[in-house]
Structure formats: structure tokens, C-alpha cells
Amino acid sequence: MLLPDVSALANVIFKEIDKAGPMPFVRFMELALYCPDLGFYERFPHRIGRRGDFYTSVSVGPLLGRMLAFRFSRWLGELESAGGRWQLVEAGAHDGQLAVDILTWFKEHAPATFDRLDYLILEPSGRRESWQRAKLGELGFGGRWIRSWSDLPAGSLRGILFSNELLDAFPARRYGWDAQARKWFEYGVDLRKGQLVWCRLPPTVDGEAGSPPEVPGPIQSMLPDGFAVESVPEARRWWRQAAAALSGGYLMTIDYGFDRAAALDPTRPQGTLRAYRQHRMLSDLLADPGEQDLTAHVDFAALREVGEASGLRTETLVTQGRFLTGVMEQVVRFHAPGFDWSRAARSQIQTLTHPEHLGDRFKVLIQFGAGMA
């Protein structure tokens, strides 16, 4: 079946539904964001920033990268003093801008470490890897690319594995409450009269936290029909694999989400899944697949538990504002080079740390592995 008036990606989705029946939303989101050549994150590098669909802390300017680089330099110092080799691994690097900001700080202000730096990018997509290679190459930076966890098997990594806004971009399962039957269904996507529409499917229970929450008896009659929650089993799996890869060093992620997700939040009857396009938040998650970003809040408490169950210890789970203020204090205390207090820098600090800008919305989870107590 080919419907000529829809996008190539909509056609891929239509065909899959035509062949196999309605798809769970999690599959729709996977295709919408990552379908090779056609998905939102596959087509152009400039999805993020002023010309794109949404901002991240990286688009605010180079300050986040500089502050991370300075923080990393201190962790790398600890690793070096314990002896042996180490790596710095970024995941979710998209167009490579954060890598450029970090590498630039090291090159200009910690050249001895820069010379020993083994910077790896964990990137499953060949397309995105080519954008990153081009951007780093233009500035004369090297790097190494790895595709999957098989390139980072258990215990093979000593160093720092970090990401900014990675896990909120993982495909989410979306469950809904059937008020009449008083049980969960799974939101699916079907095709009716040439349009993608929501449908109700039996819930997939994924074993790895991919199941809807228990609803206490008295609440069951109060939950409105269609009340939505989501679960991102892939984020837990990713964190477990990251924890397993780390033989020593730090695992860190910055993202927006909950310290402890309220299982049933009455203020969010539609859950936390959102669409973004040209800097506007949109409620129609099924509209124009591949043309809008889809994202769900990260459940940090779940990640924390996964890391701890895998043997990591938690250094901190704080807001981005508190984390960066702490880094700033160290910048001042240790007279770190490469930081100025120009108007542009002050404005970036304010945007990154102020509670009403990005300071409270984003959280930082840092866990560490053996030998870093």
C-alpha cells in the first residue's frame, strides 16, 4: 500500500500496520525518531538549537561543555593517580557540539591531559556518526566511535561515561487506564481512513520495569478513562549495560525527569510524553512522524536503583542548578583556566542554573564504580 500524499516515513509506518496490525506506541516512537534515513534524529544534524525544534543546555553556549570538561579533568586526575589507562565516553552526541566544547577546553586549558585523551562516542547510527566526525574533523579533533555495547563489554571501561539528554529520547511504552474494565491497556497506533489514530491493545509486560504501575483498590474507581503513564524499559537496560561496562570511574547523565516518579500523577493525566516542533510543545504525538521530537521524562530513581543493583555507588542526584553551582565553586577555588565572567558567560550561567530556566528542570545523576570511593 502506498499513499502518495504522505511522507516516506508515514508510508513505512502505514505499511507495517497494514501487514502486522496496530503497533504499540513504543514501536511508533522508535520509527518516528530512529527509522534509518527517515526518523527525526536521522535526517538532519540541526534538530537542536535556534534553527531546530528544541534547545538543550548545549545550545545555550559552550559553558556547559567547559564546566563538564573541568569537572572531568578532576575525575581523570583521580583515575590517573590510581594508575592505568582511562577513557572519556560520550553517548547521545547528536551533532558533536558538546564533544567540541569539551575537547576545546581540554586542548586550550589542560593540554597534557588533552594529549592523553581517549575520547569515544557511543553512537548506534552511522548517519549521526558521520555528522560528528565531520564536526570534530573540521576543528582538527580526533576521536573513536563505537556502535554498541558489544564494543564496550562488561568491565572493559575505566573512565567516565556521560550523556546529556539521551535517555529522554528513548522510545517509551505508553499505558492507559480502562475505567470500565478497571485495568491497564497499552496505547497502540492504528490506521483509519488514511490517518494514524490511537487504539487500545493488551498491555505488553516487558519484565524489565516495562509494566504499568499497580493501582490501589480505592484509586481504581477514581482514575479517569484513558489516564496515561509511560515506562521506558530501554533506559533501564541502557543504564544496566553502562554500569556493567564500567570497571572503574564514573557514570553520569543529565536530563529532565523525576527524582522519584509519582506512579500516578493526577497533574499529568496524559503522562509526560510530549512532542516538540519548531520550539513549540505539541500535544498530538502521532502528527507528522519524523517531523517532531518525541520525549518522555526520565525516572532517575529507577536508574539509581539499577546502577546500585549493578554494584555502583551513587555520588549525587541533584538539580542541574545545584550541580553546576558546585562546579562553579570549584572553578573559583582552584582558579580553573578558561572561565571568564563576561556578559555572555554570565547569561549562560543564569540560563543553565536558574530554577526558572534550566536549573531545576534538569537533574544530574552521578554514580561511580570500583576504586573511586
Ligand X SMILES: C[S@@+](CC[C@H](N)C(=O)[O-])C[C@H]1O[C@@H](n2cnc3c(N)ncnc32)[C@H](O)[C@@H]1O
* Whether the Cβ atoms of residue 65 and residue 56 lie closer than 8 Å to each other: no
* Strand 228-231 to 173-178 pairing: antiparallel
Q: Which is nearer to ligand X, 101 or 186 (CB)?
A: 101
Q: By CB under 6 A, name the one of 104, 132, 164, 292 that touches ligand X.
A: 164
Q: Which is nearer to ligand X, 199 or 358 (CB)?
A: 358
**Interface positions, 127-146, toward ligand X (CB under 6 A):** 128
Burial class of residue 191 in the structure, from the number of CB atoms within 10 Å of its CB (0-12 exposed, 13-18 middle, 19+ buried): buried
Decide if residue 169 touches ligand X (CB under 6 A): yes
* Whether the Cβ atoms of residue 143 and residue 121 lie closer than 8 Å to each other: yes
Lookup: cell for 159: 573512565
Q: By CB under 6 A, name the one of 23, 122, 242, 312 that touches ligand X.
A: 122
Neighbours of 272 (CB within 10 A): 20
Least separation in angstroms between residue 239's CB and ligand X is: 11
Decide if residue 161 touches ligand X (CB under 6 A): no
State the Cα–Cα distance between residues 23 and 170, nearest whole angstrom.
17
Least separation in angstroms between residue 123's CB and ligand X is: 6
Least separation in angstroms between residue 327's CB and ligand X is: 17
Neighbours of 304 (CB within 10 A): 18
Least separation in angstroms between residue 135's CB and ligand X is: 12
**Interface positions, 41-80, toward ligand X (CB under 6 A):** 41, 48, 56, 58
Question: How many alpha carbons fall within 13 Å on the CB side of residue 38?
Answer: 16
**Interface positions, 300-329, toward ligand X (CB under 6 A):** none
Instruction: From 159-167, 176-184, 256-264, 267-275, give the range in contact with ligand X by CB under 6 A.
Output: 159-167
Q: Which is nearer to ligand X, 29 or 286 (CB)?
A: 29
**Interface positions, 13-42, toward ligand X (CB under 6 A):** 41
**Interface positions, 215-254, toward ligand X (CB under 6 A):** none
- Nearest alpha-carbon partner for 240 in 203, 209, 213: 209
Instruction: List 281's β-bridge partners, or say none.
Output: 276
How far does Cα 195 stand from its chain's mean position?
30
Question: How many residues make contact with ligand X (CB under 6 A)?
Answer: 17
Q: Which is nearer to ligand X, 156 or 220 (CB)?
A: 156
**Interface positions, 77-96, toward ligand X (CB under 6 A):** 91-94
Instruction: List 24's β-bridge partners, or say none.
Output: 188
Burial class of residue 148 in the structure, from the number of CB atoms within 10 Å of its CB (0-12 exposed, 13-18 middle, 19+ buried): exposed
Q: Which is nearer to ligand X, 73 or 320 (CB)?
A: 320
Residues with Cβ within 8 Å of 193's Cβ and at least 6 positions away in sequence, in order, are none
Q: By CB under 6 A, name the one of 26, 32, 98, 161 that touches ligand X.
A: 98
DSSP H helical segments within the chain, as ranges? 8-20, 25-34, 40-43, 63-81, 97-109, 111-116, 126-138, 217-220, 233-245, 300-309, 320-333, 343-353
Residues with Cβ within 8 Å of 83's Cβ and at least 6 positions away in sequence, in order, are none
Site string for ligand X, 253-282 (x = CB under 6 A): ------------------------------
Least separation in angstroms between residue 287's CB and ligand X is: 19
**Phi, psi for residue 63 in degrees, rounded to 5:** -60, -40
Site string for ligand X, 331-360 (x = CB under 6 A): ------------------------------
Positions touching ligand X (CB under 6 A) are 41, 48, 56, 58, 91-94, 98, 122-124, 128, 164-166, 169
